[in-house]
A and B are shown apart, each in its own frame.
Chain A
Amino acid sequence: MLNKFDIQIREGQEHAVIETAGYLNDALGEKLSEKARELIQNGHTQLVINLEKTTLINSIGISILIEIIEALEEREGTLNFCGLSATQERTFKMMALAKYAGIFPDEESAIANL
């Protein structure tokens, strides 16, 4: 189909970064959720999701990000986002994601503020 997507994981000692590329809809969202659950189960409760290569995020993708926020809260973890476009950041604020997760311009600052 039209949507080509990819997920990259970078694991540090105390954190992990998930980088998504493509259109964040139900399909990519489910893959992202699966990777996040694996990381959380393996003890990574400090996560960064890098959305720099994620061109569009629909409301279903956002709902999956909310589920990841809630899964991390159960483990007293932290989630920071980075690489959002201005429109994505505005949408995240409107959907209240920004109240429960940090938003940073780049991966380095997102990791530093975990």
Chain B
Amino acid sequence: MSLEHKVLLTIPMYPDMELAAAKTASVLAELMDFEEGQVEEIQLAIIETCINAFEHSQSDDNAVHIEFLLSEDQLQFKIMDRGVGITPDILDGSRLLGTPGVHPDLRKRGRGLQIVRSLMDEVDIESSSNGTTVSVIKRKSRRTA
């Protein structure tokens, strides 16, 4: 795929709709010839980013807008909501959600963005009172002959 292509998707904030985004991402990543493991990483990253928007955005339009940008060696996706913005403790993963458990390192919730950062090559988050945009880049791994 030599040219840049753009795919747009809008999903409502309903349970399991993050799967629609994940399946779209999966199809695009396979078309771009990403390795199987990387396709799964992309799916998980987009699921976590969508769930984050579902849980925190409180947007009036009740929708997440996703822009996929396909190029030769990378897949970029931007996940946008028109909500109230997310707070720094959610951004840096320091907010502990749910009931604290027996082991402090086994935190139950609030680590979605940490997962995204660990699986993707670049993650950039812009958030204000007008909404949040999470921009994520996954580069194709170089296969050895």
**In the complex, which residue of chain B has the Cβ closest to the Cβ of A97?**
B106
Confirm or deny: A63 has a beta carbon within 8 angstroms of a beta carbon on chain B.
yes
Set of chain B residues within 8 Å of A57, measured between Cβ atoms: 44
Confirm or deny: A66 has a beta carbon within 8 angstroms of a beta carbon on chain B.
yes
Chain B positions within 8 Å of A, measured between CB atoms, are 14-20, 22, 37, 40-41, 43-44, 47-48, 51, 98, 101-103, 105-109, 111-112, 114-115, 118-119
Instruction: Rank and list the top 10 A-B pairs by shortest CB-CB distance, nearest first.
Output: A63-B108, A96-B105, A2-B19, A87-B40, A1-B16, A59-B112, A3-B16, A2-B16, A66-B106, A70-B101
* Interface secondary structure of A, over-half rule: helix
Q: Give min CB distance, A93 to chain B, whole Å.
A: 10
Q: State A57–B43 Cα separation when bound (angstroms).
A: 10
Set of chain A residues within 8 Å of B119, measured between Cβ atoms: 87, 90-91
Confirm or deny: A114 has a beta carbon within 8 angstroms of a beta carbon on chain B.
no
Chain A positions within 8 Å of B, measured between CB atoms, are 1-3, 23, 25-27, 56-60, 63, 66-67, 69-70, 73, 85-87, 90-91, 94-97, 99-100
* Interface secondary structure of B, over-half rule: helix
The answer to whether A58 and B44 touch across the interface, beta carbons within 8 angstroms, is yes
Q: Give min CB distance, A72 to chain B, whole Å.
A: 11
The answer to whether A63 and B98 touch across the interface, beta carbons within 8 angstroms, is yes
The answer to whether A94 and B108 touch across the interface, beta carbons within 8 angstroms, is no
Besides A56-B19, A69-B106, A99-B106, 18 other A-B contacts (C-beta < 8 A)? A1-B14, A25-B16, A56-B22, A56-B43, A58-B47, A60-B109, A67-B101, A70-B102, A73-B102, A85-B37, A85-B40, A87-B44, A87-B119, A90-B119, A91-B115, A95-B115, A96-B106, A100-B103
Partner of A59, one of B40, B106, B115: B115
Set of chain A residues within 8 Å of B15, measured between Cβ atoms: 1, 26-27
**In the complex, which residue of chain B has the Cβ closest to the Cβ of A63?**
B108
Q: State A69–B20 Cα separation when bound (angstroms).
A: 30
